[in-house]
Homo-oligomer: A and B are copies of this chain.
Amino acid sequence: MSKEKKLVESITSRTDDFAQWYTDVVREAKLCDYSDIKGCLNYLPNGYAIWENIQNDLDKRFKKTGVKNVYLPVLIPESLLQKEKDHIEGFAPEVAWVTHGGLEKLEERFCIRPTSETLFCDYWQKIVKSYRDLPIVWNQWNNVLRWEKTTRPFLRSREFLWQEGHTIHATADEARERTKMMFDVYRDFVEEDLAIPLICGRKTDSEKFAGAEDTYTIEAMMFDGKALQSGTSHYFGHSFPDAFNIKYLDSNNNLHSVYETSWGMSTRIIGAIIMVHGDDSGLILPPRIAPIQTKVIPIAQHKEGVLEKANELVQKLNDFGIKVEIDDSEKSPGFKFAEQEVLGIPTRIEIGPRDIENNQVVVVRRDNGEKITVGFDEVDSKLEEILNSIQHDMYNKAKEFLNNHIYCAKTIDEMINISNEKIGFIKASWCGSPDCEDEIKDKTHGFGSRCIDEGDKASGKCVNCGKDAKHVVYWGKSY
Contact = CB atoms under 8 A, between A and B. Distances in A.
Nearest to A149: B102
Interface stretch (A35-43, A183-191, A364-372): A35-43
B69 A145 contact: no
A99 B95 CA distance: 11
Given A159-B73, A159-B74, A99 B99 contact: yes
A93 B104 CA distance: 9
A124 B215 CA distance: 42
A71 B101 contact: no
A48 B71 contact: yes
B97 A37 contact: no
A42 B126 CA distance: 12
B42 A72 contact: yes
Interface string A51-82: 11000000000000000111111111100100
Interface size class of A (residues with CB under 8 A): 35 or more
Interface in A95-111: 95-103, 110
A474 B118 CA distance: 47
A123 B122 CA distance: 38
Nearest to A51: B71
A161 interface: yes
B35 A123 contact: yes
A97 B94 contact: no
A74 B143 contact: yes
How many copies of this protein are present in the complex?
2
A68 B103 CA distance: 36
A110 B158 CA distance: 14
A131 interface: no
A466 interface: no
A45 B69 contact: yes
Contacts of A122: 36
A70 B44 contact: yes
A123 to B, nearest CB: 6
A98 B100 CA distance: 7
Interface of A: 33, 35-37, 40-45, 48-49, 51-52, 68-77, 80, 93-103, 110, 112, 119, 122-123, 127, 138, 142-143, 145, 147, 159, 161
8 contacts: A33-B123, A37-B77, A40-B75, A42-B72, A74-B74, A97-B100, A99-B99, A99-B100
Q: Top 3 nearest A-B pairs by Cβ distance?
A: A45-B68, A40-B73, A43-B71
Given A33-B123, A43-B71, A74-B159, 15 more contacts: A36-B77, A36-B122, A37-B77, A40-B75, A41-B73, A42-B71, A49-B68, A49-B69, A71-B161, A73-B159, A74-B112, A74-B145, A75-B96, A93-B102, A94-B102
